[in-house]
Amino acid sequence: MTGNQLIPNLFRTEYQKIVSVLCYLFGIEHIEIAEDIVSDTFLAATESWSLHGIPDNPTGWLYTVAKNKTKNYLKRNSLFEQKLSAELKYNASLETGSEIEIDLSPKNITDSQLGMIFTVCNPVISAESQIALALNLLCGFGIQEIADAFLTNKEVVYKRINRAKEKLKEAKIKIETPGLAEINTRLEMVLTTIYLLFSEGYYSTSKNITLRKDLCAEAMRLTYLLIENTNTNTPAVNALMALMCFHTSRFDARMNEEGEAILYQDQDTALWNQELIAKGRYFLHQASSLEVLTKYHLEAGIAYWHTFKEDSPEKWEGILQLYNNLLILQYSPIAALNRTFALSKVKGKQTAIIEAEKLGLTNNHFYYSLLGNLYTDIDNKQALQHFEKALELAASESDKAMIAKNIARLSTH
């Protein structure tokens, strides 16, 4: 691998680690200083490695240069160093006369990232800003990549991230390893942000498959950080990891080479990742260790049943009951739609049609697609009308292509 190929990979994996450690040391109010030092480190790598070749230990090289650049910055900015030293001494983490330590040990990197997760997922900033900031600071995504993921422009993302940083500074949010009280009150918000980050990758309408997979992988990495910490290794965290494992196991089977979605019943099971399915079962088992039931448990259970391709009564009855419990726990229109499909498998299409039409989601193309599928072979004229309405409302090319196929199939009957 050349330096031009290696540096972007290291930027993705190491940038956020070093920034987290420096932010942990400096505080959120000096986040730009941390980012500048790390950016300078990667610029130095680009220049040095192109001239002298890639060092034997590229990551170690980056850490050493980042440490040196941090120390040089502190020497050049003595007032900042004095202020920082005073704060650290006040916190009893620095002895008088000793040099500020830039600790890039695996443990401190993990602790720093854990602290950053809870800082980024703070209620003082909006959910969409949390996701954008998480992608940038915790996952090493550039502004353009985030804009591509959100199907928006760079200016919108740039403003969103800057506003989020300013709000965290104004609120004087401390970056620290969360205590049990902090975990109990804030972990749910952290999981919500990670869940939304995963969904942005898994359900995104972006055609950039690599980017979408990267989003899912980063959501899973952040969840694993929570699992590795004893205090945050809760049943809900394990359930979320199980859910993500089950979903990503079918990632490669969900789209064809043209980027069009493939319906579940038409997926090639040979493309399902059995290793991820096994991991999902492991984490789901871990999630069942206490008498705790969250939406992640229920969604993981639904995803688990979908790793069995065959249409058995037990499977769809299990899925239907899980959807029933999910809607009681936390109602959502999409979950209600999905439940209706499961209902059609258990009670038949006629029963499902009655339940589906009660939902009245007339601005949702999934609603009309579902009705189109339910009416197919019962009243094909009605089915065709529903599919045509779905096509009219659909936004993504992938959804439009799938609906068009259903229309073509009905038109030949």
Kindly report, residue by residue over 250-304, the tens digit of the pLDDT: 998 988 777 777 888 888 999 999 999 999 999 999 999 778 899 999 999 999 9
Taking the domains of the chain in order of start, what are their residue ranges?
1-104, 105-207, 360-413
118/173 Cα distance (integer angstroms): 10
pLDDT at 413: 63
Q: Give 398's strand partners.
A: none
pLDDT at 11: 86
Backbone angles phi, psi at 21, to 5 degrees: -65, -45
Residues in the chain where the model's pLDDT stays below 70: 1-4, 79-100, 205-207, 413
Closest CA to 66 of 29, 94, 104: 104
Task: Determine how many CB atoms are found less than 10 A away from the CB of residue 57.
Answer: 10
pLDDT in tens, 312-321: 889 999 999 9
pLDDT at 89: 41
Question: Where do we find the tokens 């094909």?
Answer: 380
Task: Determine how many CB atoms are found less than 10 A away from the CB of residue 408.
Answer: 10
Tell me, rounded to whole angstroms, the distance of Cα 110 from its chain centroid.
Answer: 18
Closest CA to 402 of 378, 379, 370: 370
Dig out the tokens for 309 from the structure.
Answer: 């391709």
Dig out the tokens for 190 from the structure.
Answer: 């952290």
* Residue 390 near residue 365, CB atoms below 8 Å: yes
Give the sign of the dihedral formed by CA 295, CA 298, CA 304, CA 306: negative
